[in-house]
């Protein structure tokens, strides 16, 4: 079988996800989901392939030019076909063999596996009886790129051939399904989070003033890859000094100075699933009194958020309550006045000056994983908890983030290997 760096989820999981999807679709529905493209760089270069998360969720196949076609019958019965890129001599020599049909069946649980050149004939045949077409299209509310995906490009061609077809989006159904993680997914997430936290803890003793942010990125990459992660789950943020206040700083190009804080927002990918954590540490291994006060304030909000993330709580109300708690800390730090907070006590939007993002997002196959527009917390969901305080006038930003699994009576920290307490951070940075 094509070599995998990770232990794959058993095929029965993917059969279950397809069964669940089919049970929520009408008789006569046709489902089409394409792999992501291999995107070009320049000349003959390409980026590393990153699979379409929905295709991964439904098949477990992490290979380019893959397509899933499902035909839905009565009472949730369904017939599934998987289309694969066929290996040839040139591919074997230059890239290595792709999956065989048997290997694809073993990974996905789909017995009808064909080569990708049969795609058009398969669609033509399926459209003879299809009443509705459910196409996988990324309508995430925060998606902003203008680059056309393979799904979108293939849809343009499909619409030209079938202008009168009734097309519906798979996004709402899959976003709801993917919000609650099954046990096999949790196993992958636990490993991604374990690698994320342990790799970070391993580099702490090596951090010192005069070190380049890029050197810390290199150390992290080494620690993650040696633990069988394929890559960072997103571009790592390693920001020192004033750039701790830049939320998505990714250049990692500066030398850290004595007295700087260093904000890490990092994650390792394992088996397609993402870890995501943030920690803020002093470059010289010891927090100044002001740095410690801000850090402890963020940690207090972090603990409060974890305490109220309970099944049945609406995320929107949870976010509001965290803003109320954050306001109290900002008053204590002298950044807001009690009068400012009292004017909007139920939801002090004045905190946005120093805390401008949400505290939690869903986590899974995507770092900012898909979910319904107004989610309610429930058992089996995985979320981040990541409050922060950013004070540009003091060149001081602190963010603390961990990943948690919701249980009936509270949350479980999935990254226990990364220190949270000031004393533990300072101890590890001393090499103790």
What is the three-state SS of 73-98?
A: CHHHCEEEEEEECCCCHHHHHHCCCC
Q: Is 356's pLDDT higher than 80?
A: yes
Question: What percentage of residues in the chain have a pLDDT greater than 70?
Answer: 99
Q: Which structure tokens are listed for 257?
A: 């100075």
pLDDT per position as a tens digit, 148-192: 889 999 999 999 999 999 999 999 999 999 999 999 999 999 999
Q: How confident is the model at residue 2 (pLDDT cuts 50, 70, 90)?
A: low
Q: How high is the pLDDT of residue 47?
A: 87
Which residue carries 């995501």 as its tokens?
276
The pTM for the full model equals 0.95
Instruction: Answer whether 240's CB lies under 8 Å from 256's CB.
Output: yes
Q: How confident is the model at residue 142 (pLDDT cuts 50, 70, 90)?
A: confident
- What is the SS3 assignment for 48? coil
pLDDT per position as a tens digit, 368-399: 999 999 999 999 999 999 999 999 999 999 99
Q: How confident is the model at residue 274 (pLDDT cuts 50, 70, 90)?
A: very high
User: Where does residue 431 rank: exposed (0-12), middle (13-18), buried (19+ CB within 10 A)?
Assistant: exposed
| Sequence-ordered strand ranges (E) for 241-342 | 261-266, 269-270, 273-274, 277-282
Mean pLDDT of the chain: 95
Average pLDDT of span 394-423: 97
Which of 410, 355, 406, 414 lies closest to 381 in space, CA to CA?
A: 406
- What is the SS3 assignment for 37? coil
The full set of domains in the chain, from first to last, is: 11-179 (3.40.350.10), 183-429 (3.90.230.10)
- 219 — phi, psi (to 5°)? -60, -45
Q: How high is the pLDDT of residue 43?
A: 87
Which of 262, 266, 252, 265 lies closest to 283 in space, CA to CA?
A: 262
Q: Is 3's pLDDT higher than 70?
A: no
Q: Is 409's pLDDT higher than 60?
A: yes
Query: What crossing angle do the helices spanning 289-308 and 422-429 adopt, rounded to 10°?
Result: 120
pLDDT per position as a tens digit, 227-258: 999 999 999 999 999 999 999 999 999 999 99
pLDDT per position as a tens digit, 87-122: 888 888 888 888 999 999 999 999 999 999 999 999
What is d(CA 386, CA 305) in angstroms, rounded to the nearest whole number?
Answer: 9
Q: Is 1's pLDDT higher than 60?
A: no
Q: How high is the pLDDT of residue 387?
A: 98
Q: How confident is the model at residue 74 (pLDDT cuts 50, 70, 90)?
A: very high
Number of helices (H), then strands (E), belonging to the chain: the values are 13, 16
- What is the SS3 assignment for 13? helix
- Dihedral, 315, 318, 324, 325 alpha carbons, nearest 10: -130
Instruction: Answer whether 61's CB lies under 8 Å from 107's CB.
Output: yes
Q: How high is the pLDDT of residue 126?
A: 97
């Amino acid at each position: 079988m094509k070599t995998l760096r990770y232990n794959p989820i058993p095929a029965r999981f993917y059969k279950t996800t397809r069964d669940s999807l089919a049970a929520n679709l009408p008789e006569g529905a046709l489902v089409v989901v394409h792999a992501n493209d291999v995107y070009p760089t320049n000349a003959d270069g390409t980026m590393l392939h990153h699979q379409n998360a929905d295709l991964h969720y439904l098949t477990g196949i992490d290979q380019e030019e893959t397509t899933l076609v499902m035909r839905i019958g009565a009472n949730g019965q369904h017939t599934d076909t998987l289309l694969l890129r066929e290996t040839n001599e040139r591919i074997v020599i230059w890239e290595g063999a792709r999956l065989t049909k048997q290997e694809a069946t073993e990974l996905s649980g789909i017995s009808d596996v064909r080569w990708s050149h049969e795609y058009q004939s398969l669609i033509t045949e399926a459209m003879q009886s299809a009443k509705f077409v459910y196409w996988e299209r990324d309508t995430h509310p925060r998606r902003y790129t203008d680059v056309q995906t393979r799904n979108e490009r293939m849809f343009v061609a499909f619409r030209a051939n079938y202008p009168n077809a009734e097309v519906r989006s798979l996004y709402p159904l899959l976003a709801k399904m993917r919000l609650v993680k099954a046990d096999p997914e949790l196993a992958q997430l636990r490993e991604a989070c374990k690698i994320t936290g342990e790799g970070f803890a391993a580099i702490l003793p090596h951090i010192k003033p005069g070190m380049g942010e890029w050197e810390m990125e290199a150390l992290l990459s080494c620690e993650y890859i040696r633990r069988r992660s394929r890559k960072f789950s997103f571009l790592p943020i390693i920001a020192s000094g004033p750039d701790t206040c830049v939320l998505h700083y990714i250049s990692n190009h500066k030398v850290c100075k004595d007295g700087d804080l260093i904000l890490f927002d990092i994650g390792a990918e394992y088996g397609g699933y993402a870890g995501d954590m943030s920690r803020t540490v002093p470059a010289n291994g010891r927090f100044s009194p002001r740095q410690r006060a801000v850090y402890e304030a963020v940690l207090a909000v972090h603990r409060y958020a974890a305490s109220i993330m309970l099944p049945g709580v609406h995320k929107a109300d949870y976010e509001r309550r965290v803003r109320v708690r954050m306001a109290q800390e900002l008053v204590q730090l002298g950044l807001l006045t009690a009068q400012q907070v009292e004017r909007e006590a139920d939801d002090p939007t004045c905190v946005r000056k120093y805390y401008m993002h949400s505290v939690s997002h869903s986590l899974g196959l995507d770092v900012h994983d898909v979910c319904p527009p107004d989610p309610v917390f429930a058992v089996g969901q995985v979320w981040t908890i990541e409050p922060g305080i950013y004070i540009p006038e003091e060149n001081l930003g602190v963010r603390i983030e961990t990943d948690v699994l919701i249980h009936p009576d509270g949350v479980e920290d999935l990254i226990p290997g990364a220190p949270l307490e000031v004393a533990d951070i300072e101890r590890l940075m001393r090499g103790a």
